[in-house]
Structure 1
Amino acid sequence: MTAIVAGLNVFPVKSAGGVALAEAELTPTGLRHDREFMLVRPDGRHLSQREIPEMALLQPVFDGVKLTVSSPLAGAPLVCEAADGPALDVTVHKRPCRGVDQGDDAARWFSTALGAPCRLVRFTGTRPTPLGGGTLAFADGYPVSVLSAESLDDLNRRVGEPLPMSRFRPNIVLRGLGPYGEDAATRLRGAAAEIELIRPADRCMIVNTDQETARRSPGTLRALARYRLARFGGARGIMFGRLGVPRATGVLRVGDELAAS
């Protein structure tokens, strides 16, 4: 079975807005610069749209040297060069990791924009995936998330409104597998890259947040729960899409063909 890459998205700051790309480099930790930065509370716990849905309105762009973030919540954009400084002990869903503090100016900008004290950190060190022997930056558990366009089309028919793909924040959007075709796939192979799909993506309340307005409504997660509630291992959750680990790295482009097996 063959799928077409219909979209590529990176999220330079965890739980902030995404950047749609025509091509992206797949690295061992996912698409380059994905979830490379994260906002943390004063005690080091990560901030997300679960607590502050307005994080969706943060629009970051990172070129490998300079991070630029704009938002209707702030005046002038934040522009800062990635800093090498003190590393902080931080956590993602209670799992410990390390992040390099990006300075007081960035902390003030984000704290003012979001109305909550926080600091910006950049990933450092290593962090293993729960399964599959992969490594990742600040993503929740796996470096790559995949969702089929046809799966979203089917959900939209069920809810009766055109939910955009941005609600689900996938790194790679596929077309050609049919609704939920990604559920049965274990490998995606292209000319320059390969991904092993390890487990379903367990969805949370963030899918209820409109990524353009930050407004919440409960309908999306409720609709998914009616037909996508399942078990993986010992956990029960609302599954939509797949999570994976890169096995061969290279450049992915929108329009690429991937063999799914």
Structure 2
Amino acid sequence: MITVSQLFIYPIKSLAGIPLNMSNVIEGGFEYDRVLMISEPDGTFITARQFPELLKLKTSIVDNNILVSTPHNESITIKFDEFTESNEPTEVWGNHFTSHIAPIRINQFFSHILQKDVQLRWIGTNLTRRTKRYPQTAVSFADGYPYLLLNEASFNYLQQRCSEKLDIQQFRSNIIIQGALPFAEDGWKTIKIGNVIFDIVKPCSRCVLTTFNIDTAKPLANNEPLNTLRYFRSDEQEAIDFGMNMIARNFGSISIDDPVEILERQPAKKYIEFFPKDNQLNHEQCNITFEGNTFKGNQQQTILEQLEQHNIAIPYSCRVGICGKCAVVLKAGKVAPLTQSAIKHNHHILACSCVPKGDINIELVKQSK
């Protein structure tokens, strides 16, 4: 039997989650899930992708208020009735809607932690945000969809192949199930959990946020688990999928041990297997020359990781070979690409998706004026 094994909500986007035994399915997602978000003053969202230290901030719910505590035993209570009544422009991943701004004391608390001026925003009781593919479905501050399903067997399959110790909470799922075969969820279209029916919208494309240890906020070695996932969960656009985005057809409640019933199936998405050859990656040392400066590197880690280890910063965003921001010019030497698009024209390569195959000489791409 397939059942629910864990439930989580994340009251503030990118902060630590709260495990639950039961949760209510309401408009926009689970009750209290991603109802708050840190933003730039202009309403643009901020996440742990840019500020990993957010992962170390703990949240709890006390008398309908949100309590936030830091590793230094600082804390603040957030009361919903203190937010502005006005509807302020807000943006998440190009999705524009409105939200309410926290009082000064709360904004100063988070500004002090991040060492920049930020605001905390509340989605409000009248949700104005909608999912892009389902305009009738409301969503809170989640990346795209109200619910994220993860299969324990799929996670265990990944862990067996990944060199780094993983925590299932790195994937920030709401609903974790047990009793299914690995990646059986790829072929599900409609499921029922408790008295709630869910439609599975699409696989969840993964980003750099999954590479951070949730306790220390430090990145795992070798860009894991993305480095392992890209070998067997990359699609033709080279997005890396893990977990399933869902929307709910009705309101209700979900509890631990609730059975999961498969109501309708669909063809599973096809993925490109790109396992490296046995001799493609090795532990031998090499020289990496960047902008005329040379340091000792290796033939196992990506160029981006090795630059970072030597305190050399270059632009990047996704770290999985999609955005292209980490492109550099390969002036000499050879590299092993980890994705099909890691090698570009004019000797441009993606630092996040290429591993040296010996001594290399690279430089930043010169930006045209």
TM class, shorter-length: over 0.9
> Shift in Å at residue 162 of structure 1?
3.3
Alignment check: 8 A CA contact 2:5 2:176 kept = yes
What is the distance in 2 between the residues matched to 1:126 and 1:88? Answer: 11
Higher strand share: 1
Structure-1 residue corresponding to 2:183: 180
What is the match of residue 129 of structure 2?
A: 127
Secondary structure at 1:228's aligned position in 2?
Answer: coil
Structure 2 gaps of 5+ residues are 265-369
- Residue 98 of structure 1 aligns with an amino acid whose one-letter code is T
Tell me whether 1:213 sits opposite 2:195 in the alignment.
Answer: no
Question: Deviation at 1:5?
Answer: 0.3
Give the one of 63, 76, 79 matched to 1:78: 76
Q: What is the identity, as a one-letter code, of the residue corresponding to 2:139?
A: L
Asked if 1:69 is matched to 2:68, the reply is: yes
2:194–2:253: 8 Å Cα contact kept in structure 1?
A: no
Q: Give the letter for the 1:212 counterpart.
A: D
Give the AA of the match of 1:219. E
| Mean CA deviation greater in 238-247 or 60-69 | 60-69
Distance in 2 between the 1:164 and 1:240 partners? 14
2:291 equivalent in structure 1: none
Query: Structure 1 stretches (4+) deviating beyond 6 angstroms?
Result: none
> What letter matches 2:57 in structure 1?
L
Give the Å deviation of 1:191.
3.5
Unaligned runs of 5+ in 1: none
Shift of residue 16, structure 1, vs aligned partner: 0.9
**Cα offsets for 1:180-225 (capped at 9, x unmatched):** 1111111121341111111000000000011111001312111111
Quick one: distance in 2 between partners of 1:67 and 1:21?
A: 15
Partners in 2 of 1:102 and 1:127 — Cα distance? 19
The alignment-based identity, stated in percent, is 25
Correspondent of 1:154 among 157, 171, 176? 157
The alignment partner of 1:200 has SS state of strand
Once residues 73 and 162 of structure 2 are traced to their aligned partners in structure 1, the CA distance between those partners, rounded to angstroms, is: 37
Partner of 2:103: 103
Q: Are 1:223 and 2:228 counterparts?
A: yes
When normalised by structure 2's length, the TM-score is 0.67
Deviation at 1:64?
A: 6.9
Deviation at 1:69, TM superposition (A): 0.2
Q: Distance between the aligned counterparts of 1:100 and 1:180, measured in 2?
A: 39
Give the structure-1-normalised TM-score. Answer: 0.93
Tell me which amino acid in the other structure corresponds to 1:108: Q
Q: CA deviation at 1:174?
A: 0.7
Task: Please state whether the residue corresponding to 1:227 is helix, strand or coil.
Answer: coil
- The one-letter amino acid paired with 2:231 is R
Partner of residue 204, structure 1: 207
Number of residue pairs the alignment of both structures matches: 256
- Mapped to 2, the partners of 1:28 and 1:191 lie a distance apart of 17
- Computing the radius of gyration from Cα coordinates, the structure with the larger value is 2
Q: Cα–Cα, structure 1 residues 134 and 186, in superposed 2: closer, same or farther, change >3 Å?
A: same
Q: Is the 8 A contact 1:197 1:245 kept in 2?
A: yes
Q: Which amino acid aligns with 2:212?
A: T
